[in-house]
Amino acid sequence: MSHKKINILVAPNAMKGSLTAFEFADIVEEAFMQVSPCFSVRKLPVADGGDGTGEVLYRALDAEVVKVKVFDALGRTITSKYAVTGKTAIIEMADASGMKYLQAEELNPLQASSFGTGQLILNAIQKGCTQIWLGVGGSATVDGGSGIMEALGFQLMDAEKTPVAGNGLNTGIVRQIIRPDTIPEVSFKVISDVDNPLLGESGAAAVFGPQKGAGTEMVLQLEKNLEHWVRLLELESGRSLATLKGAGAAGGLALPLLAFFNADLVPGAEFVLSALNFEKHLAWADIVITGEGKIDSQTLRNKAPKVVADMARHAGKTAIAIGGSIESEACSIFNGGAFSILPAPVDTENSIKYAKKYLSSFSAELAKLLSVSI
């Protein structure tokens, strides 16, 4: 067995539905440390704008957690949270307007609203924050951010000049937007793990609507409503919004932020890794272990494991990916290989149920291999 100290940087994304990025990293660390004292392990859970991004950022930055009562996507009161570091608020949309608060039969993007996310933003502004980092994965909404606007004091008026609530249905009937007397001077970084456009076959309604409960007819209606909504926002703001890359994320959530505030759509993985000072940790490492639930074609669209692997390769380091399921087309980006933790074909339910066990066993075997080969 090697007596050389091997520095292992464990930088995984979450295994959606089974393990958080933190649980993932803890399990790998424990397995490696039990196998051999030759390993020095450093954990740096990562994210790309999807579920868990907020926690990754505020734990890494030692931000102060703020709890607040807000509405979920269907208007029910829940206890949510965000975090503050300096004048920056770290907000995860899913913590207010996420699918995780809804039962499968409740999913309805025509009725769902981002109002609760707007409540989190408003609370942060009231506490003196001037910058909002907004992770937008896991949302239940396709409301074009209209709910956020309502929460921030904008009035949405129909053809009869009657105020209407911000949701996926009403984006199709708003004819006028009345701004509040004062618009807060706050900037936004909208952190997304997708780069889908707003409209069309790769857009918010077509791609994400079905995931949020929309059938064929509802998808068509959401598409029509978003098309009307973005034209109105463009008219009100004098900005071109419909064709922006990534505008389809979270059901078009960023549109009004781009229209009325100082806001940027940022690629999630690059933004998070920069905030975590990933390059410094990478310089320390000999080997980087990353991963997520599925290593597939979506991983190649600049999900966190891909960006981790790209940076490792450019730094001359070995990157190994671990996942529940692996597609061969995605393996080539990991110069140390991509491996499934599953010992045999396993159905989805059991792969999720026993993810901790499978990951622990695989990590121990990987540690044994690395301890004798380096």
What Cα–Cα distance (Å) separates residue 123 from each residue in 57, 66, 98? Answer: 19, 9, 18
How many Cβ atoms are within 10 Å of 345's Cβ, its own excluded? 6
R_g of the chain, CA atoms, integer Å = 22
User: DSSP of 297-311, one letter per residue?
Assistant: TTTTTT-HHHHHHHH
pTM: 0.92
374 pLDDT higher than 70 = no
At 110-134, the pLDDT tens digits run: 999 999 999 999 999 999 999 999 9
DSSP assignment of 104-121: GGG--TTT---HHHHHHH
- Binned at pLDDT 50, 70 and 90, residue 298 comes out as confident
pLDDT above 90 coverage of the chain, percent: 87
Angstrom distance (rounded) from CA 219 to CA 202: 12
Q: For 128-179, how does the pLDDT look when each residue is reduced to its tens digit (9 = 90+)?
A: 999 999 999 999 999 999 999 999 999 999 999 999 999 999 999 999 999 9
- Give the Cα separation of 18 and 360 in Å (integer): 14
Tokens 């996926």, located at residue: 168
Position 17 confidence tier, pLDDT thresholds 50, 70, 90: confident
For the chain, helix (H) and strand (E) counts, in that order, are: 12, 13
- C-alpha 108/C-alpha 72 separation (Å) is 13
- End-to-end alpha-carbon separation of the chain, Å? 9
- What average pLDDT score do residues 299-304 get? 90
CA distances from 33 to 27, 267, 286, 355, 368 (A): 10, 34, 16, 19, 11
pLDDT digits (tens, 9 = 90+) for 43-76: 999 999 988 999 999 999 999 999 999 999 999 9
Axis-axis angle for helices 304-314, 268-275 (nearest 10): 60
Q: Is the Cβ–Cβ distance between 254 and 247 less than 8 Å?
A: yes
Establish how many alpha carbons lie within 13 A of residue 250's alpha carbon, considering only the half-sphere containing its beta carbon: 34
Domains and CATH numbers, the chain: 6-46+277-373 (3.40.50.10350), 53-270 (3.90.1510.10)
Could you tell me the two tokens for 102?
């809804």
